[in-house]
Structure 1
Amino acid sequence: MAATETVAERPDYDPVALAESLASAADKSAKVLGDFIARQAAAGKSMVTDEFGLTQAFLELAAKMLSNPYRLAETQMNLWWEYSALWQSSMLKLMGQSTTPVVEPAKSDKRFRHEDWEEHFLFDYVKQSYLIAARWLHNTVANVEGLDEHTRRKVDFFTRQYIDALAPSNFALTNPEVFRETIASGGQNLVKGLNNLLDDIERGNGQLKISMTDSKAFELGVNIATTPGHVVFQNDLMQLIQYEPATAKVAKRPLLIMPPWINKYYILDLREKNSLIKWCVAQGLTVFVISWVNPDERHAAKDFVDYMLEGPLAALDAIEKVTGEKDANVLGYCLGGTLLAAALGHLAAKKDKRIVSASFMTSLIDFTGAGELEVFIDEEQVSSLERKMSERGYLEGSHMANTFNMLRSNDLIWSFVINNYLMGRDPFPFDLLHWNQDSTRMPAKMHS
């Protein structure tokens, strides 16, 4: 009776329809791959590159590891002992005895929250086996002596990328939630996921551009960036937006907001409930915001000085013409704050006191300690970037976006791989991720 009920609970699915879906996906795969290869060949590009300089870094790592075989042997023994403990613990659990895990994921680790990771013997074993190997690999690399600091940081960072990529949660057969969905849907989740993958490759012109949100759910001026305003000035690098007043009286001194040029301005005006711009207007402020151009080959020679002169300084001139006010309060966000700091120095040297107050939000001024971003900064990588930018006169926005996504790969890469490609689901509409995906290009001279 139990066996009959189990079969009855399984949903019906059409194997012919499944085969047709797979065939359609295969045809689409061939087309996308063919287009990609054709574009690469037309551009004279090799599909094998090492723009991060990893080959040399890991060769140095291997040499240092082999120079101390005793420590390498010690780490191997520690790994063996941990796996022995896991095997013993797993056998006891299989026999119904309560056991203490050999290793547990961090409480902040979202990858192993499904109950099967703990309750099901096999998935618990896979999880712990991965965590043991991940800890061993990370510690082995981190404890190698003799590497210079930059190489150490680079191999540590990309080792973590490798570890994150190989998590069992990223594979259909070793992720219990995906495994259950595959059985329940008769594999339709994987077919839908394959089509999602192909759509993202096609959307990225042959490069994988992972969908983080439903891009069709938001439209500028309709349900995102809706605070009323109009362009009052523009030049080669920016448009200056003045927002309509929302109060009977407004402050005499205007507020100029400078967002970063590596993203779009509407991060500060997503929706009504989380719009800083709308809030400022509601307080009676006269608000101006710089909306930077998305540069192309015409802007290749624009540098940091141009951005300062044609950005905040040009905006201050335009604001004075519009309002009659010479003074202004200025707020800089992210790199907009970095540019604001430079503009303050420039104006101070000229004894120009138009900026009465300056506010900074998440702005880096001293770049001597740039954190994990330093992994991407060395002569080899800068030279590679300059060669790439010289081809078109700008750096594609996706390049910078991918770099920032790697800093939080589990949240900004692998969680979407699981949701979109393994579970076969559409991404959830999220205003912040819509903005995050709306990346901008950067002029070659500005970014070299």
Structure 2
Amino acid sequence: MTTEDLTDDATSSESLAKLEANLAKIEGLTQRLVNALANKRSVPKDLQGPDQELYVKAATNFWTEMMANPAKMIEHQVGYWGKTVKHFVEAQQELAKGNLVAPPDDTPTDKRFANPLWQTHPYFNFVKQQYMHNVQAVHAAVAEIDGLDDKDRKRLEFFSNQIVDMFSPTNFLATNPDALTLAVETEGQSLLDGLEHLVADLEASGGELQVTLADKSAFKIGENIATTPGDVVFRNHLFELIQYRPTTETVCETPLILFPPWINKFYILDLKEQNSLIKWITDQGYTLFVVSWVNPDASYRDTDMTDYVQDGYLTAIAQVKSICDVKKVNTVGYCIAGTTLSLTLALMKSRKDKSINSATFFTTLTDFSDQGEVGVFLNDDFVDGIEEEVQKTGILESFFMSRTFSYLRSNDLIYGPAIKSYMMGQAPPAFDLLYWNGDGTNLPGKMAVQYLRGLCQSDNFANGEGFEIAGQKLHLKDVDVPLCAIACETDHIAAWKSSYRGVQKMGAKNKTFILSGSGHIAGIVNPPTKVKYGYWVNDDLSLSPEDWQDTATQHEGSWWPHWESWLRKKSGKQVPARSPGDSSHPVLCDAPGTYVSATPDK
């Protein structure tokens, strides 16, 4: 026996041992997978997709159109067949010539197909081109269905796109060159790692597939995110009030209260020092208070919008006035918290309460006549399902909210991460923004239904009979304090044009509107040091949204300094910096407090 034989035997033994170990792992993972799926949570049918009536209506109109205008339908089909057969013939001709190359490819560029093999390898290119032809055919068929109203058409386009995206060849191992190549390079280890990630995600989500987007072990709230120094100076059943410690010797006399959305947690504005809006505001010389909302459990089932206004907003305003010994405060509301701030302002006007000196709205909808992309989930089929769910559980769990918003960007938030995690075995990245995105909150059942029915669906506040808070019907026109609104150009949750129309309907004489580049989060969390995205301003708010943007002045970099210049004029003289709390508001604990990390019972 030679040395080479011994080496071969050793290599074979190592490979066999590795194979046996991997087989044992697969057996254990398979059992865990079976257990996770066997205990799968029950998701109401109405929350799994649109009512079948939408597809029936589309199919009926398609059939009617085909009978009335068969030539049009035949033209569509022949065009699709022609592209498909032509591509097949071209591929066959190249192979018959002995050329292992892809035929000509004029399909659109798509970042999902970035691997060069999609362009050069005859198999992968054939699969890609056929998929792209199918996509074009589906889009053309949906676009030319007559007899649908705008809302149904938008929904049909959205949900047909979901189906199209789901069947992308990148989502399947046999047609994903990146995953196949890595599986060969790692002797299958990447697939085994991916299976472990898949099973772990199913176990964590009650048998439902919810992709982990970030390394949860990489962050700890209060240690490496949400670290701006401050103190909790008040607490009730709805929120903790954080007062941030001053970093300047003097501050503006009028304090600022920031109300974040309770759909997510406040620390999106305090992820890290470099992009923390909370720290930046404090460093500009303001006494800043931030509300940290409770994460509700089933005991909050009867908590409604009136509770959020009275026990949340009005209580926080009163506490800040008392702590700072002032008659007026400035306010900021982000997303749904901005919507509720506008309700609070309308209520305060009816009560002749002049405690608010100015209001700022981040990505806020108050006029829901055009619901934007999220509107596909606001029809009765979904809202009926939500109402049925919260009647049983008392809350709208964060699971449903997270899944809904993920489908608005499914390739970025579902399929792309799933490919990396499950097919390529890559661990989720240590990315603070994605960590926050996965740290969702529940919504009280009654409040959620009121918001969806009365604001989103009926649009009662801006264009209806008024939205009722504390027994009073409130109207958007009664929001009359000086205000500044910041919307984001590519926001898929709060469409900027709808935000703009809401500002137009507010009764304030002093209005400023800023349009930031980017989307719902990145457009707001955009520190001046990054010099990213840019923003637009235009003093003429009588224009249509399109004309406003066309004639607006564009600026480079962050809108933060522009807004701060506006805010400073509303913030009074300089006074000595204030330490958190006072004799009647002792410090309860350090920021970021206890509510932000609490895990409620289901």
TM-score, L = length of structure 2 = 0.68
Distance 1:51 1:19 in 2: 35
Q: 1:49 to 1:249 in 2, by over 3 A?
A: closer
Distance 1:218 1:110 in 2: 30
- Other structure's SS at 1:445 match: helix
Amino acid at match of 2:59: A
Q: 1:50 to 1:265 in 2, by over 3 A?
A: closer
Aligned to 1:53: 50
Whether the 8 Å CA contact 2:246–2:287 is kept in 1: the answer is yes
Aligned to 1:287: 288
1:133 equivalent in alignment to 2:134: yes
For these two proteins, the number of residue pairs brought into alignment is: 429
TM superposition shift of 1:99: 5.5
**Runs ≥4 in structure 1, deviation > 3 angstroms?**
10-13, 45-54, 91-100
CA-based RMSD:
2.0
1:438 equivalent in alignment to 2:439: yes
Listed as ranges, the gaps of 5+ residues in structure 1 are: 1-9
TM superposition shift of 1:46: 7.5
Comparing both structures, which one devotes a greater share of its residues to helix?
1
Which of 63, 68, 71 does residue 65 from structure 2 map onto? Answer: 68
- Other structure's SS at 1:253 match: coil
TM superposition shift of 1:143: 1.2
TM superposition shift of 1:130: 0.6
TM superposition shift of 1:397: 0.7
Map 1:248-397 → 2, pairs under 5 A: 248-397=249-398
C-alpha offsets along residues 421-441 of structure 1, whole Å, 9 cap, x if unaligned?
A: 000111111111111111111
Distance 1:240 1:230 in 2: 8
TM superposition shift of 1:209: 2.2
1:26 equivalent in alignment to 2:30: yes
Distance 1:446 1:429 in 2: 34
- Other structure's SS at 1:232 match: strand
Distance 1:145 1:93 in 2: 41
TM superposition shift of 1:92: 5.3
Distance 1:21 1:98 in 2: 39
C-alpha offsets along residues 3-32 of structure 1, whole Å, 9 cap, x if unaligned?
A: xxxxxxx99853222222211211111221
Distance 2:46 2:326 in 1: 54
C-alpha offsets along residues 181-219 of structure 1, whole Å, 9 cap, x if unaligned?
A: 111122221221111111011111222221000011110
Distance 1:346 1:47 in 2: 36
Bigger shift: 90-99 or 260-269?
90-99
Q: 1:46 to 1:355 in 2, by over 3 A?
A: closer
Aligned to 1:401: 402
Map 1:196-275 → 2, pairs under 5 A: 196-275=197-276
Q: 1:171 to 1:248 in 2, by over 3 A?
A: same
Distance 2:144 2:350 in 1: 49
Aligned to 1:101: 105
C-alpha offsets along residues 82-115 of structure 1, whole Å, 9 cap, x if unaligned?
A: 112322443455454885413123xxx3211111
C-alpha offsets along residues 34-93 of structure 1, whole Å, 9 cap, x if unaligned?
A: 333xxx5xxxx5886665333221122222222233233322111111112322443455
- Other structure's SS at 2:37 match: helix
Amino acid at match of 1:101: D
Amino acid at match of 2:31: D
Distance 1:401 1:100 in 2: 41
Amino acid at match of 2:309: M
TM superposition shift of 1:347: 1.6
Report percent identity of matched pairs.
37
Q: 1:16 to 1:98 in 2, by over 3 A?
A: closer
C-alpha offsets along residues 356-389 of structure 1, whole Å, 9 cap, x if unaligned?
A: 1111111112111111211111223222111100
Whether the 8 Å CA contact 2:29–2:196 is kept in 1: the answer is yes
Distance 2:364 2:44 in 1: 36
